[in-house]
Amino acid sequence: MKTIINRARAALLKYDIRALAVIADKLKTLGRDIWAWENIGDPIKQGHQAPDWIKQALINVVKKNSNWGYSPTEGLDEAREFIAATERQQGIRLAKQDIVFTSGLGHGINTLYQSLLNGGGRAIHPSPAYPAHSSSESFFAGAAPIFYACRATNNWQPNLNDLEEKIKKHPEIRFILTIFPNNPTSVCYSDEILKGIAALARRYDLGVISDETYIRLLYKNQTQTGLAKIMSAGQPFPLIVMKSTSKDIPWPGGRSGWLEFYNLGQDKNFAELEETIKQNLRVQVGSTTMVQAALPAIYGDPRYQTYLAGFIAKLEKQSRYISALLNTVKGIYCVPGQGAFYLAAVFKDGVLRPGQSLPITNAKAKEYIESLTADPNLPLDKRFAFYLMAAKGIILTPLSSFEGPPGFRVTTLKTDLKETKKVYAEIKSAIEQYLASSIHKI
Half-sphere exposure of 173 (CA within 13 A, CB side): 28
Q: How far apart are CA 117 and CA 141, in angstroms?
A: 6
Kindly state the DSSP code that residue 103 receives in the 8-state scheme. S
Q: How far apart are CA 96 and CA 79, in angstroms?
A: 9
Q: Do the domain assignments include residue 54?
A: no
Q: How far apart are CA 43 and CA 249, in angstroms?
A: 10
Domain that includes residue 232, residue range: 64-299
Closest CA to 179 of 111, 117, 247, 267: 247
Q: Do the domain assignments include residue 55?
A: no
What CA–CA distances, in Å, run from 152 to 187, 373, 399?
10, 27, 12
Contact yes or no for 181/126 (Cβ under 8 A): no
Q: Of 246, 276, 299, which marks where a domain is finished?
A: 299
Torsions phi, psi for 142 (to 5 deg): 70, 25
Task: Give every strand in the sheet of 407-411, ordered side by side.
Answer: 332-334, 342-347, 407-411, 397-398
Please give the pLDDT value at position 196: 98
Contact yes or no for 291/391 (Cβ under 8 A): no
> Do 103 and 22 fall within a single domain?
no
> Do 123 and 233 fall within a single domain?
yes
Contact yes or no for 346/406 (Cβ under 8 A): yes
Closest CA to 157 of 122, 125, 123, 194: 194
> Do 343 and 263 fall within a single domain?
no
Please give the pLDDT value at position 442: 41
Q: For residue 251, give every residue at least 6 positions away whose Cβ sits within 8 Å of its Cβ, in sequence order, or none.
A: 50, 245, 291
Please give the pLDDT value at position 40: 85
Q: Do the domain assignments include residue 57?
A: no
Q: Do the domain assignments include residue 56?
A: no
Q: For residue 179, give every residue at least 6 positions away whose Cβ sits within 8 Å of its Cβ, in sequence order, or none.
A: 126, 130, 133, 210, 211, 213
Contact yes or no for 43/341 (Cβ under 8 A): yes
Contact yes or no for 99/80 (Cβ under 8 A): yes
Classify strands 239-244 and 397-398 as parallel, antiparallel or unpaired.
Answer: unpaired
> Do 106 and 13 fall within a single domain?
no
Closest CA to 400 of 340, 336, 333, 346: 346
Closest CA to 289 of 72, 36, 116: 72
> Do 79 and 221 fall within a single domain?
yes
pTM recorded for the entire structure: 0.95
Contact yes or no for 187/335 (Cβ under 8 A): yes
Contact yes or no for 226/181 (Cβ under 8 A): no
Please give the pLDDT value at position 4: 65
> Do 202 and 337 fall within a single domain?
no
> Do 117 and 266 fall within a single domain?
yes
Please work out, in degrees rounded to the nearest 5, the angle formed at the alpha carbon of residue 147 by the alpha carbons of 162 and 182. 95
Query: What CATH number does residue 415 fall under?
Result: 3.90.1150.10
Buried b (16+ CB within 10 A) or exposed e, 405-423: bbbbbbbbbbeeeeebeeb
Can you list the pairs that 18-27 forms with residues at least 24 positions away whose Cβ atoms lie under 8 Å? 20/385, 20/389, 20/395, 20/397, 20/401, 21/395, 23/372, 23/386, 23/389, 24/389, 24/395, 26/368, 27/365, 27/368, 27/369, 27/389, 27/390
First to last CA, the chain: 51
Can you give the C-alpha Rg of the chain in angstroms?
22
> Do 131 and 145 fall within a single domain?
yes
Q: Of 299, 324, 340, which marks where a domain is finished?
A: 299
Q: Do the domain assignments include residue 123?
A: yes
What is the number of structural domains in the chain? 2
Q: Of 281, 299, 317, which marks where a domain is finished?
A: 299
> Do 188 and 332 fall within a single domain?
no
> Do 322 and 183 fall within a single domain?
no
> Do 280 and 146 fall within a single domain?
yes
Classify strands 257-262 and 239-244 as parallel, antiparallel or unpaired.
Answer: antiparallel
Q: How far apart are CA 255 and CA 233, in angstroms?
A: 33
Please give the pLDDT value at position 12: 67
Contact yes or no for 352/407 (Cβ under 8 A): no
Contact yes or no for 38/393 (Cβ under 8 A): no
Q: How far apart are CA 395 and CA 136, in angstroms?
A: 24
Residue-level pLDDT, tens digit, the chain, 442 residues: 766 666 776 666 666 777 898 999 999 999 999 999 998 889 999 999 999 999 999 999 999 999 999 999 999 999 999 999 999 999 999 999 999 999 999 999 999 999 988 778 999 999 999 999 999 999 999 999 999 999 999 999 999 999 999 999 999 999 999 999 999 999 999 999 999 999 999 999 999 999 999 999 999 999 999 999 999 999 999 999 999 999 999 999 998 999 999 999 889 999 999 999 999 999 988 889 999 999 999 999 999 999 999 999 999 999 999 999 999 999 999 999 999 999 999 999 999 999 999 999 999 999 999 999 999 999 999 999 999 999 999 999 999 999 999 999 999 999 999 999 999 999 999 999 999 997 544 4
Torsions phi, psi for 62 (to 5 deg): -60, -35
